[in-house]
Amino acid sequence: MIRVTIYKTGRHNFAGFDISGHAGYAEQGEDIVCAAVSALVITTVNSIERFTDDETSCVTDEDTGSIEFRFINTPSHDAGLLLDSMILGLEEIEDSSQHEEYIDIIFKEV
């Protein structure tokens, strides 16, 4: 299962997110759930890096399928919008009756 933890501050600003695990929907290279999550997350991280001036930290481990992404400061409006878009896509996967058992999204206040 893919576990997604979204971190928000008490002021509802994004602080970052963690993603770990593999969906297990199908064999490696055939797993459409892992591919969809990876595409959403990588595009979001790359977009924040390219289209905003936000300072971030990103640590990845391909073997475990983990990504630890953090904002150094309060994120810009654009970075928040990009994360909202990523979360929307991830929640659509989680809400699908066909894929809900392969992804779990939680929100934590930090």
Report how far residue 42's alpha carbon sits from residue 38's, in angstroms, rounded to the nearest whole number. 6
Catalytic residue among 12, 22, 58, 99: 22
Cα angle 1, 70, 36; round to 5: 35
Active site residue 34: yes
DSSP annotation string for 26-41: SSTTT-HHHHHHHHHH
Task: For residues 14 and 95, give the distance between their C-alpha atoms in angstroms, rounded to a whole number.
Answer: 22
Q: What is the CA radius of gyration of the chain?
A: 14
Indicate which residue of 12, 34, 58, 99 is catalytic: 34
Is residue 22 annotated as a catalytic residue, yes or no? Answer: yes
Close Cβ partners of 50 (under 8 Å, ≥ 6 residues apart): none
Known catalytic residues are 22, 34
